[in-house]
Amino acid sequence: MTHDLARLGKRLGYQFQDERLLQQALTHRSADRRNNNERLEFLGDAQLGQIISRWLFDQFPEASEGQLTRMRSVLVRGATLADVARELELGPCLALGGGEMKSGGHRRDSILADALEALVGALLLEAGEETCRQIVLGWFQARLAAVSPQNAAKDAKTRLQEWLQGRQLPLPEYTVLDIRGQAPSEQFDVRCLLTSHQLEFVATGSSRRRAEQDAAALALAWLEDNL
């Protein structure tokens, strides 16, 4: 495990001195009900929002509050955080309970996003605000370079539709794959199918609309990165 965490440190761009803190950030509540990453997630969520908000504020001095809010939403939504977590290869490093392991929890957006936020919280505690800010901005570098008040003004479904229409390709098809839990805490799994490329992207959200938006964002990101 120590060797795996050392390799993770290289991907993160930071080697934790307190290995127990790093392990806690990677521990889901299904693996340990007492010593898990939920408190670190709480801290990291607030710190991540502050880091991204300040960067946007400084980078776009002419942007309105609404534009800043929409850009921040694009950068800190669950699907984006899960993508960053995948790029850092957090999934194989997570400590999960037996049920979550069997159900593929290490690939689930919500678990990956929570772990990334917990890592931000752990970084803040060990390294302080400035180092935390520098590391996190490095993780988001490509996405920060791509965001602007103009492309954040439209939601992901609209932008995906326009991207496909502009190339005379079929529109995406959205399907609800599963609904878990009871209202008002339901979780929706939605698939966005691109028939033109025979690709599908699945996202989870607290509403069908949110899940559709996140699935569309995944599809759009793939198209923009690969075509």
Q: Once rounded to an integer, what is the mean pLDDT over residues 94-106? A: 88
| Span 42-66, pLDDT tens digits | 999 999 999 999 999 999 999 988 8
Q: Which residue out of 100, 109, 117, 212 is catalytically annotated?
A: 117
Tokens of 102: 């069997």
* pLDDT above 90 (res 18): yes
Burial pattern 54-70, b for ≥16 Cβ within 10 A else e, equals ebbeeebeebeeebbeb
Instruction: Enumerate the known binding-site residues.
Output: 41, 114, 117
3-state secondary structure at position 188: strand
Q: Once rounded to an integer, what is the mean pLDDT over residues 23-52? A: 95
* pLDDT above 80 (res 196): yes
Q: Once rounded to an integer, what is the mean pLDDT over residues 157-169? A: 88
Q: Which residue out of 45, 189, 212, 214 is catalytically annotated?
A: 45
Instruction: Enumerate the known binding-site residues for Mg(2+).
Output: 41, 114, 117
Burial pattern 91-120, b for ≥16 Cβ within 10 A else e, equals bebbbbbeebeeeebbebbbbbbbbbbbbb
Tokens of 132: 């935390």
Q: Which CATH class is domain 156-226?
A: alpha beta
pTM to 2 decimals? 0.69
* Of the ranges 135-144, 175-184, 216-225, the best mean pLDDT one: 135-144
Cis peptide before 61 (omega within 30 of 0): no
Domain boundaries, the chain: 2-146, 156-226
- Cβ–Cβ under 8 Å, residues 75 and 153: no
CATH number of 2-146: 1.10.1520.10
Q: Once rounded to an integer, what is the mean pLDDT over residues 84-97? A: 93
- Cβ–Cβ under 8 Å, residues 174 and 191: yes
Can 117 be counted among the known catalytic residues?
A: yes
* Of the ranges 4-13, 32-41, 175-184, the best mean pLDDT one: 32-41
Name residue 178's beta-bridge partners.
189
pLDDT mean across residues, the chain: 90
How long a stretch of residues is the chain? 227
| Span 113-158, pLDDT tens digits | 999 999 999 999 999 999 999 999 999 999 999 898 877 667 889 8
3-state secondary structure at position 131: helix
